[in-house]
């Protein structure tokens, strides 16, 4: 099931800024233990076949950018909010694939993070949230789908205030029961796929700032 939305006038990162303000603006008791990790990454995946045309399509692999906001509560169990943006393209597969249109893939996820080793900073995390597809084509509406993810990596402290985070994650975005994706305002859809799940994988790295 997905939710259609119009092209938003506010910046895509509005929700990130709002959450950041929520954590930072209150008094020190709330802000204490705040962790902010801006990161860069590289994402692959998002392959499927359009059953109406039998054409193989893919989301082009590309760089990704994001921000993680979390709280260090002094235990091995932590919670985080993650925003990521992948500017990519939808194109056919092959030696010289045709690019159909540019596409922004946005993820908004809440994560439960389990620290496996405090000394090394190794961790695993489970994520729940949404994936928003924002096509550049004016004939297609933005749409939002439910998503789940799993991740793991290292969040190693360099000092009391700065750390290094390296993480790999997989994100599963759940499409309509009929596999419809990239739909227009009138309800017509560009692609129908047999798979109801769109899989993507990425590796990210960034610096963690602790307050």
pLDDT at position 184? 77
The beta-carbon contacts of 6-9 under 8 Å, at least 24 apart in sequence, are 6/141, 6/142, 7/134, 7/142, 8/142
pLDDT at position 187? 66
Per-position pLDDT tens, the chain of length 211: 444 443 443 444 445 554 555 444 444 544 568 899 999 999 999 888 888 778 888 899 999 999 999 988 778 889 999 999 999 999 876 544 688 889 999 999 999 999 999 889 999 999 999 999 999 888 888 889 999 999 999 999 999 899 999 999 999 999 876 677 887 776 677 777 777 888 999 999 999 998 8
> In the structure encoding, which two tokens stand for residue 199, read together?
């899989």
pLDDT at position 181? 80
Burial class (CB in 10 A: 0-12, 13-18, 19+), 188: exposed
- Separation of alpha carbons 94 and 26, rounded Å: 53
Domain boundaries, the chain: 2-210
pLDDT at position 97? 62
- Separation of alpha carbons 114 and 152, rounded Å: 9
pLDDT at position 130? 95
CATH, domain 2-210, list 3.30.360.10, 3.10.450.50, 2.40.160.20, 3.50.40.10: 2.40.160.20
């Amino acid at each position: 099931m997905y939710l259609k939305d119009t092209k938003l006038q506010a910046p895509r990162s509005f929700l990130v800024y709002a959450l950041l303000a929520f954590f930072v603006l209150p008094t020190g008791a709330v802000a204490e233990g705040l962790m902010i990790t801006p990161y860069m990454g590289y994402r692959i995946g998002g392959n499927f076949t359009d059953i109406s045309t039998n054409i193989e399509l893919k989301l082009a692999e590309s760089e990704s950018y994001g921000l993680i906001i979390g709280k260090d509560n002094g235990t091995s169990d932590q919670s985080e909010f993650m925003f990521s943006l992948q500017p990519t393209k939808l194109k056919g597969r092959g030696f010289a694939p045709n690019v159909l249109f540019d596409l922004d893939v946005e993820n908004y996820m809440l994560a439960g993070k389990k620290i496996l080793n405090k000394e090394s900073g190794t961790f695993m995390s489970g994520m729940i949230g949404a994936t928003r597809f924002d096509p550049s084509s004016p004939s297609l509406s933005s749409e939002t789908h439910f998503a789940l993810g799993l991740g793991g990596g290292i969040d190693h402290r360099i000092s009391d205030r700065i750390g290094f985070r390296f993480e790999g994650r997989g994100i599963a975005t759940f499409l309509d029961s009929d596999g419809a994706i990239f739909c227009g305002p009138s309800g017509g859809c560009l692609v129908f796929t047999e798979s109801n799940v769109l899989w993507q994988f990425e590796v990210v790295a960034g610096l963690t700032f602790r307050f």
